[in-house]
Structure 1
């Protein structure tokens, strides 16, 4: 599955149609786009932490949801109204301080639905801190 948008194009599109992801500063960035896949980074700030100094569950859910959206957009083009219909996440271990990377792989890209597998890990780490699956509704093209 070949992408139709580059990471720079997806980033510019998000800045245009979804600027609220940068409220409080630029914590999320698109690291890469490749065949059937996207990698999105969360540079966690104080607002993403929970007591105990670990990245919060809601911050990791937002990362997974955004990364799934990025993967889908990169492969269908700039369709702002693709929306999440389901997001399931399992928190596996406490993330160490530092950036988190969410690697999303498209499992199915149909006419109406897209299903994405998301793995979240600390930068340079092999062990996942969370795993999610997301389903998106894709509007008619």
Structure 2
């Protein structure tokens, strides 16, 4: 891990420069970065990031429900940014596994991804993401993932 800050501007730069064009088309925004524990942090504090996916009809399937593919891409992208925050800088990685448990549908609402790094390793890193509807702040999906650090 690097001994420097990974701030929100750097996270936004990675989002704009590193990801595939179709991921950039989701118009995700970085809302917060947590690369160091605050002074009053709980013993189980974990580094992470919060990303927002703005609601768009283009992301919906029949019935106006935000499609699972968009939600999974949001979770994967948020976890990459969270790992970079924990690492305090850019490091190439690739998704090895992602398990998504959909809890309920989300309609006509932005979605927040709260991504937390459970373990930052030299060769593998693991995390969890909670996706929530901004309209009512209720979870819509829980995601666990593993990344190979390259």
CA contact (8 A) 2:110 2:135 kept: no
TM-score by length of 2: 0.83
Superposition misfits of 4+ residues, deviation over 3 angstroms: 1-4
* Count of aligned positions: 136
| 1:54-133 matched pairs, under 5 angstroms | 54-76=65-87, 77-79=89-91, 81-123=92-134, 125-133=136-144
Distance in 2, matches of 1:74 and 1:118, equals 14
Distance in 2, matches of 1:114 and 1:124, equals 31
Note closer, same or farther for the CA distance 1:72–1:53 as it changes in structure 2 (3 Å cut). Answer: same
Q: List gaps (5 residues or longer) in structure 1.
A: none
Q: CA deviation at 1:67?
A: 0.5
TM-score by length of 1: 0.88
Aligned to 1:6: 7
Distance in 2, matches of 1:3 and 1:87, equals 29
Distance in 2, matches of 1:138 and 1:84, equals 9
User: What is the aligned-residue RMSD (CA, Å)?
Assistant: 1.9
Partner of 1:71: helix, strand, or coil?
helix
Distance in 1, matches of 2:19 and 2:4, equals 20
Note closer, same or farther for the CA distance 1:3–1:55 as it changes in structure 2 (3 Å cut). Answer: farther
Distance in 2, matches of 1:11 and 1:38, equals 11
Q: CA deviation at 1:40?
A: 0.6
Note closer, same or farther for the CA distance 1:124–1:53 as it changes in structure 2 (3 Å cut). Answer: closer
Q: List gaps (5 residues or longer) in structure 2.
A: 37-46
